[in-house]
Amino acid sequence: MKPILKWQYDQIIKELLLLQEHSTDQSCPCESDGERCVRKHLLSIEALAQETLPMEENQEFKDKLQILATEAKMNREKEEKSLCGKPEEAPNLVDWTRNWRKQFGAYSLACDEKPATTPDQNAGQK
């Protein structure tokens, strides 16, 4: 996997983790000081998925990224309506984030790359 593509997937996974945490932690002051954590993370996920799409060569994952971007937008729009006082049925973001992390987690793990050797590992080799 290209380093830029791995970086993109790492960012998507990080945002999914943060969204899951912020949407479940009752002590998180997510809606204080003008901050709207759930909306912010959904925007980031949507943007990262859209940005990653043209970089991805694997059609299966291109399709997944398109679906992720669309679902993130739909969830964001529901969140925005709720923030504007027009509550809709809230999506189950815990299951949603977990399902997406499972789909991308193993794929973004760069196991096929050789680990860098350290000077200590090279000691005694000639």
Tens of pLDDT along the chain (126 residues) come to: 889 999 999 999 999 999 998 888 767 666 655 557 888 999 999 999 999 999 999 999 999 999 999 999 999 998 888 878 787 777 789 999 999 999 998 888 866 554 445 455 455 544
Question: Are 16 and 45 contacting, i.e. CB atoms less than 8 angstroms apart?
Answer: yes
Question: Are 104 and 13 contacting, i.e. CB atoms less than 8 angstroms apart?
Answer: yes
69 half-sphere exposure, CB direction, 13 A CA radius: 14
The pTM of the full predicted model, rounded to 2 decimals, is 0.80
Question: Are 37 and 25 contacting, i.e. CB atoms less than 8 angstroms apart?
Answer: no
CA distance 95 to 54: 27
Smallest CA-to-CA distance from 108 within 116, 100, 120, 118 is with 100
